[in-house]
Amino acid sequence: MKFFVDTADTAEIRDLAETGLLDGVTTNPSLIHKAGRDFLEVVKEICAIVPGPVSAEVVALDHDGMMREAEIVRKIADNIAVKVPLTIDGLKTCRKLTADGTMVNVTLCFTANQALLAAKAGATFISPFVGRHDDVGFSGMDLIADIRTIYDNYGFDTQILVASVRNPIHVVEAAKIGADVMTAPPSVIRQLFKHPLTDNGIKAFLDDWAKTGQAIG
């Protein structure tokens, strides 16, 4: 499963990229607002840090407007994935952009039927929002499993990008289902490395090592 980080904070992206475990980045207008930086400038910087896909979202709601914005956004770098909302105009835009060889991430997916439509529109990525789905009393992971089944039934190569990830359980469940990608905030990615028994084990080993009086090298 590929790991994307869901942030526009370039310091966080740089730090996580150094692990060699980061396959891409997703942003959205709220994350751009949080970063407090110029949209085109920050996305360009992110594209230079991470070679993998970097999602940048258009904000127009009509097809012509989305196309106009996408023309600007896709020129930023070769690794841009234009992010469009799951609407009729969004999917029209998706169809047109992917036909031209541009990567498209269809966002704000909440049903398996929406995911089916996005795959038929040639989406590179479909982003079901599991956390927001859980928030309103549905199972985000059931949605991921349904999409996996449908995509496998018909051999769609649209990648399932599990979004709105809120905790490590979301990540392991997505991996068990066979999602292609997950995108999570930096804090959740950092949590994946952690276990108290790992920390306790390191401490115990180092305490015993100190008693040996030895050094390596």
* Interacting residue ranges for ligand E4P, rule: CB under 6 A: 6, 26, 28, 107, 127, 129, 131-132, 163-164, 183
CB 31, min distance to ligand E4P, A: 6
Asked about 83 being catalytic, the answer comes back as yes
Q: Which two tokens stand for residue 34?
A: 């949080």
The alpha carbon torsion through 129, 106, 173, 140 (nearest 10 deg) reads 30
Q: Which of 166, 174, 168 is nearest to 145 (CA)?
A: 174
Annotated catalytic residue: which of 2, 83, 194, 211? 83
Count CB neighbours of 197 within 10 A.
7
Q: Which two tokens stand for residue 141?
A: 């992971």
CA distance 69 to 66: 5
CB 82, min distance to ligand E4P, A: 13
Count CB neighbours of 24 within 10 A.
23
Q: Which of 69, 82, 76, 70 is nearest to 27 (CA)?
A: 82
Residue (114 or 164) nearer to ligand E4P, CB: 164
CB 197, min distance to ligand E4P, A: 29
Residue (117 or 181) nearer to ligand E4P, CB: 181
CB 84, min distance to ligand E4P, A: 12
CA distance 177 to 146: 10
Residue (28 or 114) nearer to ligand E4P, CB: 28
Residue (114 or 127) nearer to ligand E4P, CB: 127
Beta-bridge partners for 104: 82
Residue (5 or 76) nearer to ligand E4P, CB: 5
CB 41, min distance to ligand E4P, A: 19
Sign of CA dihedral 65, 70, 75, 77: positive
- The residues annotated with a catalytic role in the active site are 83
